[in-house]
Amino acid sequence: MSKSEKEILSMKRMFDIVASLVGLVFLWPLLAVIVVLIKIEMPGPIFFVQKRVGRKGKLFTIYKFRTMTLGHGGSTVSVKGESRITPLGAKLRKYKLDELPELWNVLIGDMSFVGPRPDMPEYYDLLKGEEQKILELRPGITGTASLKYANEEELLSTVPDPVKYNKEIIWPDKVKINLDYYYNNTFLGDIRIIFQTVFR
């Protein structure tokens, strides 16, 4: 790793720590309201907790607000309008509010604000050769692939086999986008992606 690459990583990590801490402090009233709404509308756990693949291929625990019914037994691919997604959950997902607890993942170093979205281990087992360079990055709350597929759930709802379409079309395209990000990411580029995510 070159000196400039190390400097970018250092700046990025410092930004992640400061911004996630500020976000948690200033957004706590909103977080508290969402917690109360989930307890009222969706009896059961407040958080969705799952193992995802992080930097260097290490597993970590991701935290999100729960948006689905308990014991639904569905696939790992989510489609807009599914019965397992509750009415409150649909609103949280629409505005990405279910991902706010990931600020904690960013603060403790499991994730970054910008990077490839963390997926299930079975997807990363599909990475071959150069594609595995993606695992050198911290996974992100948002990223270039996330921006392109911001309407992923709506897109999947229009195809006959969402799981197959995701595996054969969307996932390979995300890998290409994330590999391009690996080679071309900059600190200012990350700031631009964050603004595009917020104001899209």
Give the pLDDT of the chain (200 residues) as one tens digit per residue. 565 666 667 889 999 999 999 999 999 999 999 999 999 999 899 999 999 999 999 999 999 999 998 876 556 677 777 788 999 999 999 899 999 999 999 999 999 999 999 988 888 888 899 999 999 999 999 999 999 999 998 999 899 999 899 989 999 999 999 999 999 999 999 999 999 998 87
* pLDDT at residue 66 in the model: 95
Q: Containing domain of residue 105, as a range?
A: 3-199
* pLDDT at residue 170 in the model: 95
Residue of 111, 178, 170, 163 lying closest to 139 (CA atoms): 111
Name all contacts of 11-16 with Cβ < 8 Å and 24+ positions apart: 11/187, 12/112, 12/114, 12/187, 12/190, 13/109, 13/112, 15/113, 15/187, 15/190, 16/106, 16/107, 16/109, 16/112, 16/113
Rounded distance, CA 5 to CA 186, Å? 9
Beta strand segments in the chain, E: 47-53, 59-65, 112-114, 140-142
| Beta carbons within 10 angstroms of residue 174's beta carbon | 23
DSSP assignment, residue 114?
A: E
Rounded distance, CA 107 to CA 59, Å? 17
What is the count of structural domains for the chain?
1
Q: For residue 49, which amino acid is it?
A: V
Q: Could you tell me the pTM of the whole model?
A: 0.90
Rounded distance, CA 177 to CA 174, Å? 5
- Give φ, ψ of 13 to 5 degrees: -65, -40
Whether 59 and 119 have beta carbons less than 8 Å apart is answered as: no
Q: What does the CA dihedral 52, 53, 54, 58 come to, rounded to 10 degrees? A: 110
